[in-house]
Amino acid sequence: MKIAISMAALAAALVASPVLAQQAPAATQSATPTAADAEAFLAKAEQTLFDQSIVSGRAAWINATYITDDTDAMASYFGAIDTKMRVDYALDAAKYATAPGLSEETKRRLTLLRTALTLPAPTTPGAAEELNDLATRLQSAYGKGKGTLNGQPINGSDIEEKMGTDRNPEELKEMWVSWHDNVGAPMRQDYAKLVSIANAGSKELGFADTGAMWRSKYDMPAADFAKLTDKIWGEVKPLYDQLHCYTRTKLNEKYGDAVQPKTGPIRADLLGNMWAQEWGNIYKIVAPEGAGDLGYDVTDLLTAKDYDQTRMVKAGEGFYSSLGFEKLPQSFWDRSQIVKPRDREVVCHASAWDLDNKNDIRIKMCTKVNGDDFVTIHHELGHNYYQRAYQIQKPLYLDGANDGFHEAIGDFIALSITPDYLVKIGLLDPAKVPGADKDLGLLLRQAMDKVAFLPFGLLIDKWRWGVFDGSIPESQYEKAWTDLRTQYQGIVPPVSRDETKFDAGGKFHIPGNTPYARYFLARVLQFQFYEAACKQAGWTGPLHRCSFYGNKEVGAKLNAMLEMGASKPWPDALQAFTGSREMSGKALVNYFAPLQKWLIAQNKGKSCGW
């Protein structure tokens, strides 16, 4: 089973049954394992993992879509078995990796097996059970979490929507504080325990800590990966700094000095998103005079055309079909969770699932009829089409070239949700397509999501890497989180916070134990993919207006890359579609170059920075 957005250790990609795992060849049976021993081990392990993943995947799906004490217990039970067996396989893989005469492919498969875990449990009796109990409890606490608005309880998906539309600073503050206090703070002790157990497991696998293990999954040494992310951030930071400065000025003009000062960081709850990770919901506040009104709003278009949630997903499927991809199977429509059920608690965070490593692909969303979820649908379906494309690969290669690739595929498709595309699918009247004089507005609207996200995408794992390696002790969890948010995003909480809080837990991917660097990489890769696709399509206009909807040549080349899965190092896959072997922020900066020039002019005389 591959779950594009991981559901903690319970729903990890590779799992094994205890009976079959004991039958696999063990490295300890021979003092000097041979290359033939390694091949036999891999053959047995891969088949076992493949077969058992179906059972474990269904348990994880049921738990995510029907949260009860019973399904929590079921998920924890399977998660404990999975973690134990994956640790056993990873330990054996590390031993077989020393065998002489291994082929490069065998070495790569052993490395993939050794680093396939997200939360490794140590071999200490009871550790796997405790780790999975903690992981299940944390995820379920998030799924059941509620904040308040005007003193009334409000669930996660609804409070996220209200943060995007409410402009009352006191109500925004209430929602922000209540969510983080009610959801994040109670997780703190459980999270610290989870970190301790996972670190012990990572050390048994030969890694310094769990963060180092996560960074070792990118076909390069862990330290080099951290340097790569810093290099990319350095390429895009000047653009972010200009966007921050301009946005702060507009918020000050709207709310006044008492709510948002002219200088310093931005108040986190004013940016239209619970985590201030994307700012597009406040576009109307920052829209440039004369160019800001694009003439349409995707949410309004969907409503006017009587779109419901299923029709929105059908539209997303239509984009991929236009590129030549096969339509989604009927089981997708029968089994996906597209709308939040009324009768039970579920994990609303959008995710894409493959439960049989073939065609049982699904999405899990609590879809709202709005522009944000229209984009999210295109993103999640990108995971599903990727999963289906690489089903031809060996079990250990049933994954993206790296996890950033998996996130970037749908995102670069979503970049093609341009006015031209909206006209072609009948959502936008051709007479209302914005003219060239609106280009700055189009770019700013994109930047409020795409560029604003970049520091958030980086700091989530910066914080966890510090937590895992001990440079951020438990006594400073909250301070370090707030400091990193200020350092990278230039934002501050609406109220003071102390070490009784755990604001990191208010973001799904922390209690969900999903590595986050993938999303930072995806923001970079999607522009590299998009630029390459537009060149392949022969697009000659402004890059941000390009849509390759309907171009089957682009689809064929894209599918060729998707089919590679994880069978080759990611630079090979990147080169196959873009011609380059380097991840870089340059394509993103090129895309927004006209906007950056305009922002610099708008910010002239302002005290930028924080």
Q: In angstroms, how far is the first alpha carbon of the chain from the final one?
A: 45
Q: What are phi and psi of 218, to 5 degrees?
A: -115, 30
- Mean pLDDT of residues grouped by 10 in the chain (610 residues)? 37 30 40 91 90 86 95 86 81 91 93 88 91 93 96 94 96 98 97 98 92 93 95 98 98 98 98 97 91 83 97 98 97 97 92 92 96 94 96 93 93 91 96 88 93 98 98 98 98 98 97 95 96 94 91 97 96 96 95 96 96
Identify whether the C-beta of residue 554 lies closer than 8 Å to the C-beta of residue 536.
Answer: yes
Catalytic residues, which ones?
Answer: 380, 509
- Residue 7 has a pLDDT of 31
Beta bridge pairs of residue 491: 266
- Residue 435 has a pLDDT of 87
Cα–Cα nearest to 382, from 395, 394, 366, 400: 400
- Residue 6 has a pLDDT of 32
> Percent of the chain having pLDDT more than 70?
95
Q: How far apart are CA 210 and CA 470, in angstroms?
A: 11
Token pair, residue 122, equals 């140590």
- Residue 11 has a pLDDT of 34
pLDDT tens digits, one per residue of 76-98: 888 777 777 787 899 999 889 98
- Residue 1 has a pLDDT of 40
- Residue 8 has a pLDDT of 30
Q: How far apart are CA 60 and CA 58, in angstroms?
A: 5
- Residue 494 has a pLDDT of 98
Identify whether the C-beta of residue 220 lies closer than 8 Å to the C-beta of residue 228.
Answer: yes
- Residue 50 has a pLDDT of 84
Strands 146-149 and 361-364, sheet pairing: unpaired
pLDDT tens digits, one per residue of 203-228: 988 899 999 999 999 999 999 999 99
- Residue 44 has a pLDDT of 93
| 3-state SS assignment for residue 320 | helix
| C-alpha to C-alpha distances, 495 to 92, 173, 249, nearest whole angstrom | 50, 8, 21
> pTM for the whole thing?
0.85
Q: What sign does the CA torsion over 577, 561, 415, 242 have?
A: negative
- Residue 75 has a pLDDT of 87
Q: What sign does the CA torsion over 486, 180, 410, 462 have?
A: positive
